[in-house]
Structure 1
Amino acid sequence: MTALSRLTPPFAPGTVWLVGAGPGDPGLLTIHALNALEKADVIVYDALVDPAVLSFAREGAALEFAGKRGGRPSASQRDICERLIQLAREGKRVLRLKGGDPFIFGRGGEEALALSEAGIPFRIIPGVSSGLAALAIHGVPATMRKANHAVILATGHPAPDAQLEWTSLARTGAPIVLYMAVSSLPSIVQGLMEGGLPGDTPAIAVHGATTSKESVVEATLESLPKLAEDGHIRSPAIVAVGAIAAFRAAIANHLLEFGSEAAQ
């Protein structure tokens, strides 16, 4: 890593790096993310950060779990922000490590705003978004020239004061990639169908993308709630609905399994 570390900026004491860890496989970490893992004094990490990623932390670094999972006790976002500020003011090199990309349903924007208001210097390191990676590695293109000219990224758990109009999203005709949506699939599917999406619209769900726990379910829109109820679709999962999901049958015929060579 000596040569690669020359490509990355210095990680100064008293600063915070908001870093995306990608979907899980450490091979999808950026060079900047690896450098941060090797230099950080404290790593404040989310529930979706794979243990294999944390294995790159330098010896002696403190690991602090700050995961937020639906329906389970977890730290409040305010507490997490205050902890980052406290650690930086203690002169630590603070790595805030998030699954996927910190600015795509990762609350990275809230933490960046809190750090800025507190006068804490920070850096943002984008990561491979789980929503796009989970599809790509299984032969599902997020955009396909003859199928769609836009794609919608949506969360199944909007903020309490926000409201998603699934019927309106359905009327756009654009494929929809859902994050954190497994427990909300019945209402989401109902709204999408009320908005005009046929029940046989292709869909795909990927649980634990790029990790040893990965599973893939090809489905239709109307079958999603029952598949989730029966445990075939488990959280955390990325669920995609739309024409792009149908391309997997043709593309994946000779697609090498992701990470298979590295495992040998």
Structure 2
Amino acid sequence: MWLVIALLAFAGIRAILWPPQQHHTEPKTDAHTQAQHDDVPEAAAQQVASRFARSYLTWSKDDPQAREKELKRDLPKGSDTKTGWNGEGTQLVAQTIPGEVSQTRPHQARVLVDVRVSATTGAGKKARTVSSWRALEVPVAESGGRVLVTGQPALVGLEQPAHWNGAPDPEADTDLTASTRETVTDFLKAWAAGTQDQTTAPGATIAPLGSGITLHALDNWAVHTGSGSHRTGTATVRWEIADAQLQQTYRITLAQVSANNASRWQVWQVTSQ
């Protein structure tokens, strides 16, 4: 018994004088998490690349310093603010649309920006302005808590149209189509006039189109086959706007409203096709 007591006492003293070493294990970081940490923030990259693309593709031989001043904002200190332009010509940027951000290396990326430019050629009566879309790829990097443009942007090819095979048109309910055509026409007239609440079903909320639009014609209206108190149809409409006619297609949902032992169809919802 005394031997056991002595061993326990020795163990306690040893734990006090020579405590066991604590082994600290560094938390493991998987490759995906580390890659996300190294990515250039997408929103900031798009903002900087879009602003830089506007400045980069805007120039005027009459005021070359204006372009240099704008470019300087997003370039590293000491960079060439002429960035390849020879100082001739005139071009303006009307719009920029930032697109895909491709992460290339840790804290570096490329941003694709669509740019609408207007270039003027010639002078006097021979002056001609042509507008077109350009695609610009802008290299960016994250440094010191902000995103900078780190190299020469490059014009690249624009994406080409792709094939699309939509769903076939649904069959039409000829009887309901005929009986509701006037209802839809009246709604469209009121919608353009801003008085659509008078022709919609109770509880429906449809915002007005705005001023300067009138109905020219309801070119086509077809209610899809089906059943129930809500039915959907397709309407092809021609609006008069800015001294022109603009044809558009809508999906219009009708609701069956009953009152005083009678029922009628009224517009419930309008969306694009």
Q: Shorter-chain TM-score: what band?
A: under 0.3
Question: Which structure has the highest helix share of the two?
Answer: 1
- TM-score of the superposed pair, with normalisation by structure 2: 0.20
Which structure has the larger Rg over C-alpha atoms?
2
* Structure ranking higher on relative contact order (CA contacts 8 Å, 6+ apart): 1
**TM-score under structure 1 normalisation?**
0.20
**In proportion to residue count, which structure has more strand?**
2
